[in-house]
Amino acid sequence: MTILSFLFFIVALLYSMVGFGGGSSYNALLILFDVDYQIYPGIALLCNLIVVTGGCWLFIKRGFLSARLLLPFIITSIPMAHLAGRLTIDKTIFLTTLGIALFISGLVMIFNKRLQERLITPEKNPHLWSWGLPIGACLGSLAGLIGIGGGIFLSPILYFLGWGTAKQIAATASGFIFVNSLAGISGQYIKLQEVPSGLNQITEFWPVFIAVLIGGQIGSRLSSTRLSPELIQQLTAVLVLYVSLRIAWILIPS
């Protein structure tokens, strides 16, 4: 548990610097340490929530979080994250979904280059609601089901569409992760009550929750770092892609 807690601390520290919670990497680490797959989402979502809370507060305090930009995405993501979190699925289906999501996350982190900002303010965006509602529903479902907050997908989408500055997009992704993690946890709590010792298993991981709390608080307050966000993204992508390929290997019939 000591090694896992240290690794969770590092993930929380690095991800919080760029406004993410680290759900994809928490899942990757839990797989590497052979944890029961049924409690992956609960642990990852709770860690997400702990990490992004401090970042969200700072973004709000500094005026970067736009309610107009965030609202269309979370209206549909919140109920879908809760409902998906309540689903009990077969291990093969769960691992397949998680593997695909991790693989896509890794590719996004590797190939996502910050696009030239074509700033479109929420007030002048005619497509915000028509696009935001379905995108929010899809990412919310993914968040509740496998414990990935969705910010890692939402961020490049917003960059591609030009919907905000870099700081506004980071703030929006952070807020999106916060509400999805909270909604997903509520669904996971209901589901884990039906899993033998499910809630007790999660409480046994209390050291990792303390670790991400410390790492997230430090990372969200660092104004500068020797490690660029791009380097952090690339290094994390290697781990995420490795685990996605390991899942594929596990799923291949022997």
Q: Please give the structure tokens belonging to residue 146.
A: 């496998």
H/E segment holding residue 31: helix 23-32
Q: pTM of the prediction?
A: 0.81
**C-alpha to C-alpha distances, 45 to 103, 143, 150, 231, nearest whole angstrom:** 19, 8, 11, 24
Ranking 30-39, 72-81, 169-178, 219-228 by mean pLDDT, the lowest is 219-228
- 116 has a pLDDT exceeding 50: no
Q: What is the pLDDT of residue 5?
A: 93
Q: What is the pLDDT of residue 211?
A: 94
- 114 has a pLDDT exceeding 50: yes
- Give the chain's radius of gyration (CA, Å): 17
- Give the model confidence (pLDDT) of 189-206 as tens digits: 888 777 666 677 788 888
Q: How confident is the model at residue 158 (pLDDT cuts 50, 70, 90)?
A: confident
Alpha helices in 33-165 (DSSP H): 40-61, 67-85, 91-111, 128-146, 151-161
More confident residue, 179 or 39: 179
- Give the model confidence (pLDDT) of 203-239 as tens digits: 888 899 999 999 988 887 774 455 566 666 666 677 7
Token look-up 């995108």 returns: 135
- Nearby residues of 146 by Cβ (< 8 Å), 6 or more positions away: 27, 40, 41, 44, 94, 97, 98, 101
- Give the model confidence (pLDDT) of 5-54 as tens digits: 999 999 898 888 777 888 878 888 888 888 887 788 889 889 999 998 88
Residue type (1 letter), 38: Q
When the pLDDT of each residue in the chain is averaged and rounded to a whole number, the result is 81
**What's 38's DSSP letter?**
G
What is the distance in angstroms between the CA of the first residue and the CA of the last residue of the chain? 31
